[in-house]
Each structure stands twice: as structure tokens, then as C-alpha cells.
Amino acid sequence: MNHRYFENLLLSDQPLPNDQKHSLRDHLAVCESCAQLSYALSQVEQEFRAAPQVGPAAGFVERWQSRVESQQSTLQRRQAIAMLAINLAAASALLVWGINLLLPSLGSPVDLVSQFLDGFIDAFTSIKLAFGLSAPLLRNLPNLVPLSWWISLCSSFLGLLIVWANMLKQYVFEQGVLS
């Protein structure tokens, strides 16, 4: 007799079709070992139903949440340190690379100072020229553009500034960048 088949039916968690229920019932009537297994299984199920449900220990949720928060802050700190290290390494590599490119072209300190002063004078002259050319335009601009357009432009700029400030606030404070 194939006891394994009937034992599998007894231990199955799935509901049995009617034909399997009938064959199992007929087999249990004639097979003592399968009948004992069925009785033992029903006793175990009764014990499980009668046993009180055990809940978590007092303070489990708080301990678990604090541990998760601690792990998250540690992970964020490690990620920030890793990103800082990567950025510092990249900046150092770029600095070394730039110095290696510039060293052969650098002359004496007098040449460096004269190049710096020449660049400073060129920048100052360019700024002075830009202001000189734009001053008449800026003086006549209020007469060229109607007041309603100025109000619209200023309102749009203010709206964009408010959107930018809110996005910055949300990113910096609500996502925990600075908290």
C-alpha cells in the first residue's frame, strides 16, 4: 500500500478535491499508521489554536526604529565622506595635471606678475567699455519698454525666485541635507 501518497494528502496545506477526500477517508479507516498520523496532526493543530499569541517585547518598535535611523545616518555620513574623498582626489588630480601643464610655460616671477597685471588691466578696461556702451541704452530703456511690461517682467522674475527658493528649501531642509 502506498502510504506516502496519503501522508502527503494529510500534510497538504491545499484544500483537497472531493475524490481525494473520499479516498483519504477510506484509507484512514483501514490503515492504522495513517490514522495515528491524522490524529496526531489534529492534536498539533488544536495545540497551535489554543496557544496564546506572543507579541513583540515591550519597546521593540522604538528600539527597531532608532536602530534603523542610526544605520541610515551612519550610511549617509559614510556616503558624504566617500563623496568628499572622491571630489578631493579628483580636484587634486586636476591640480597636479594643471600644474604639470603650466610649469613648462611659466617663466620668471617678473613675467608672471606682468601677465597678471596685463590680464587685470584688460579685464578692467573691458568692464569700463561695457558700462560705457550700455549706459545710454540703460538710460533710455525705461522709455522704450512700457510700464506694464516692466511689471510683468518683475513679477515673472519674482515668481521664479519664489519657486527657486521653495525648491531649495525642500531639497536642503526636508530631504535632510542639512539636518
Q: Nine-digit cell at 66?
A: 532608532
Residue 93's SS3 state is helix
38 burial type by CB count under 10 A (0-12 exposed, 13-18 middle, 19+ buried) = buried
Per the model's pLDDT, the better-predicted residue between 144 and 62 turns out to be 62
Instruction: State mean pLDDT over 150-170.
Output: 90
Task: Provide the pLDDT for residue 175.
Answer: 63
For residue range 15-30, list pLDDT tens digits in order: 888 888 888 888 888 8
Task: Provide the pLDDT for residue 63.
Answer: 92
- Grid cell 496526531 — which residue? 40
- Find the angle CA(8)-CA(10)-CA(13) to the nearest 5 degrees: 85
Model confidence at 179: pLDDT above 80: no
Q: Could you tell me the sign of the dihedral formed by the alpha carbons of 88, 94, 100, 106, in that order?
A: negative
pLDDT class of 178 with cuts at 50, 70, 90: low
6 burial type by CB count under 10 A (0-12 exposed, 13-18 middle, 19+ buried) = buried
Instruction: State mean pLDDT over 36-46.
Output: 87
- Grid cell 513583540 — which residue? 56
Task: Provide the pLDDT for residue 159.
Answer: 95
Task: Provide the pLDDT for residue 13.
Answer: 77
Alpha helices in the chain (DSSP H): 3-11, 18-30, 32-50, 60-102, 109-144, 147-169
Query: Distance (Å, rounded) from C-alpha 124 to C-alpha 131?
Result: 11
For residue range 42-89, list pLDDT tens digits in order: 898 888 888 888 888 888 889 999 999 999 999 999 999 999 999 999
Average pLDDT, the chain: 84
Q: Nine-digit cell at 59?
A: 519597546
Q: What does pTM read for this prediction?
A: 0.33
Instruction: State mean pLDDT over 148-172.
Output: 88
